[in-house]
Structures are given as C-alpha cells and as structure tokens.
Amino acid sequence: MKIARRPFLALSTLAALGFVSVPVLADQSTDKAQTAKAAEAVDTTRFKKDGPYKIGVSAGYLSNSWVVFALQHVRWEASKHPEITEVIVTDAAFNPAKQVADIEDLLRQNISLLIYWPVDDNAIAEVLKRAVAAGIPTVQAGGGFTDNPGTISNAYISQWQLGEMVARRLMADLGGKGKIVAMLPIAGTTAAVDQLDALQTVLKEFPDVELVSTEYGDWNRAKAKQITENLLQRFPKIDGVFSPAGQMSIGVAEAFDEAGRLSEVIMSPGDEYNGWLKWVAKHQQGGAVTFPTRAGQEAVKIGVDILKGTSVTRGTAVPSVYIAPADIGKYADEKAPDDWWASELPADFLPKQ
C-alpha cells in the first residue's frame, strides 16, 4: 500500500523531540494503582486459535470525530494482517441498551475478537463477561483503563495523567491563583472521573486557585458552549478553564469571545482536535495535551497477540504528550475542517471530508 502522510511531524516522535511535559508529580495514588493493574500479565492460551479472524467493533457512538479517527486506525491496522478477513462495526448511538444488543449480535456472528469503547461500562459488564466465557477476547480501546472481569486488555489513554498534565500547565499559566471552571466529558465515565480526580489532586498544592464549577459537556462543542454561556452569567469573574478535550475547549472559547470576555480567561491545553489546534495557533495560548487516536490501532495489535496466544498485559498505555502553543502550527491543518484530528493515518484510511 502506498502511504501518503500529512505534512506534520509524527505525533509518536514528540517525546524524542522534547515536547513531553515533565511535571513534579502530585499524590498519584489513583494513577499508581491503575499502572500496577495494567502491568499484570494475562494468560492468553485459552483464546489461542488459528485464523482467519473476524473482528467485531462495538462503538458506543460514532458521532464523535475522535472515535471516527480511532476506528480508521482499527481498519488500518487490520489491513496489515492478512489473517484478519473482516471487520464488523456497530454503532450504539450513545444508547447503553443498544450497545448490549449490538455485542450480543456480534457474538452471534462468530467473531474472533471484540474491540469496544463504551457508553456505560457498567451496562455492558455482563455481556462482556459472556463473551469472555465463550472464548472471545475483549479489548477496550481509547478510554481510561478498566479492570472489569469482562475486559481482557486495554489500549488505554491514562485520563489521570492527561488530566494532571493539563491541570499543571493551567496552574503555571495562571500563576497559581484565580477562579476556574472545569469542563469535563460524559459524567460517570472513566475519563470524567479520572480527569476530575487529577485536577483536584493538583489543586491541593494551589490553595489560591478556586474551582467554582464543574460541568459536563459530553465531548460536544455546542453543549460546552451553551454551558459556558450560562456560567458567564453566573460568575462575573472566571480566570481559567480546565478543559482537556479540544472539541469542548473551542466551544468554551467561543462563548467567552462572544461575551466579550475572552481577554480575561486563560484556557488550559486541549487535545489535537483540529478546530482547537487552529484556535491555539491564532491565539498562542493553551497548547495541547494529546489524546492519540492511534489507540484504535494499538487495540488491534493487542487483540492479534491474544488470538495467537502471545502473553499480553491488562493494559497498554498510549501516552499523551504536551505541545506548546509555539509548536502547534506543525500540527494544525488550516485546510481541514475543525472536526478533524492530527494523526498518522495514511491517506487511504483518512475519513472522508
């Protein structure tokens, strides 16, 4: 396959080039426990089987552009393995009951491997356990780490570490004082819980920073903007915004701008959502802490190892890195839509614009 790459540096090389944020770490009891669990070895012999392999992908939702890019990484990696003959994708459209039904349907289609990202971890816990009992390994892709018995392994992005990196950068830019609001993803998800825990842990070191409101924008630009419009009416002074998700960050920034209050606020880093990258390139504040879409690719690699009987761990971390505002121009694509992601996907696998 001929591979054409986007004209920016591979995100996987950022650490080598010195873009990694290296903070003095807070009390990371949550993160340390998670890391220890993720390092546990998994006996894969019960899942070993000969090809060909059929992969089922249960998407909790496909309306989110990050998920679309992660799915394309699944397809790209699958294309590299001739033993993978089919990838079947379902979309639960944010409906937990539908995701349960989707997984049950995939199991009836005799899939070899299940890759998923959840709407609600608890809602699908039992059907995942049934998959494992039937000899079908399950790999969670892209969310935070889970050690539920129905999940054999994870290609996870540490929401705690990401949240801490974002929080520390915001504290530095605020000079350690001021009133802030937090814009988090879907309430109750690992992402929301771990990001908030990381923020609250960092805030213990900064008594002059007050968290005045915690909101949930569901990874949705329009919803985050609407919530922020209400916050601007409630609070005459907001010095900073903790918002690790670029899709929501751009909505937050738009609300401040339209209210004539953009100059008063300091935005935290978002992620590599292209609309946010373009905003940072223009305003030169915030930067980005990456939320790599290649987690989908890593999930396929883990799944293939399991099917071949190769030992894996409970979790493989896909690390986040910090990109300073001065370097954002290398990653922002002014010609691409806002709803786009800086990634290493070859041209043949980029989503259709």
Mean pLDDT value across residues 159-170 = 96
59 forms beta bridges with 91, 117
Task: Give the per-residue pLDDT at 29.
Answer: 65
* pLDDT tens per residue across span 304-345: 999 999 999 999 999 999 999 999 999 999 999 999 999 999
What's at 273, amino acid-wise? Y
Three-state secondary-structure class, residue 48: coil
Whole-number percent of the chain with pLDDT over 90: 84
* pLDDT tens per residue across span 12-30: 434 333 333 333 344 456 6
Phi first, then psi: give them for residue 285, nearest 5 degrees. -145, 160
Is the separation of the CB atoms in 278 and 334 below 8 Å? yes
Task: Give the per-residue pLDDT at 13.
Answer: 38
Please check the confidence at residue 4 and state whether its pLDDT lies above 50. no
Task: Give the per-residue pLDDT at 142.
Answer: 87
Integer-rounded Cα Rg, in Å, for the chain is 20
The DSSP secondary-structure symbol of 193 reads H
Please check the confidence at residue 290 and state whether its pLDDT lies above 70. yes
Could you check whether 9-30+158-290+321-353 and 40-157+292-320 share the same CATH topology? yes
Residue with tokens 């005459």: 236
Is the separation of the CB atoms in 239 and 261 below 8 Å? no
CATH number of the domain located at residue range(s) 40-157+292-320 in this protein: 3.40.50.2300
Mean pLDDT value across residues 276-296 = 96
Task: Give the per-residue pLDDT at 176.
Answer: 97
* pLDDT tens per residue across span 66-97: 999 999 999 999 999 999 999 999 999 999 99
Please check the confidence at residue 196 and state whether its pLDDT lies above 80. yes
Closest CA to 306 of 157, 151, 158, 190: 151
| First CA to last CA distance, the chain | 21
Q: Which residue has the higher pLDDT, 279 or 35?
A: 279
Please check the confidence at residue 120 and state whether its pLDDT lies above 50. yes
**Average of per-residue pLDDT values in the chain:** 91
When pLDDT is cut at 50, 70 and 90, the band that residue 34 belongs to is: confident
Three-state secondary-structure class, residue 300: helix
**Measured distance CA(246)–CA(287) in Å, rounded:** 10
Closest CA to 246 of 270, 221, 212: 270
220-234 b/e with 16+ CB inside 10 Å = b?
Answer: bbebbbebbbebbee
Tell me the fold of 9-30+158-290+321-353. Rossmann fold (3.40.50)
Domain coordinates of the chain in residue numbers? Answer: 9-30+158-290+321-353, 40-157+292-320
Mean pLDDT value across residues 243-258 = 98
Q: Which residue has the higher pLDDT, 350 or 20?
A: 350
**Measured distance CA(170)–CA(167) in Å, rounded:** 5
* pLDDT tens per residue across span 48-67: 999 999 999 999 999 989 99
Please check the confidence at residue 32 and state whether its pLDDT lies above 70. yes
Please check the confidence at residue 138 and state whether its pLDDT lies above 70. yes
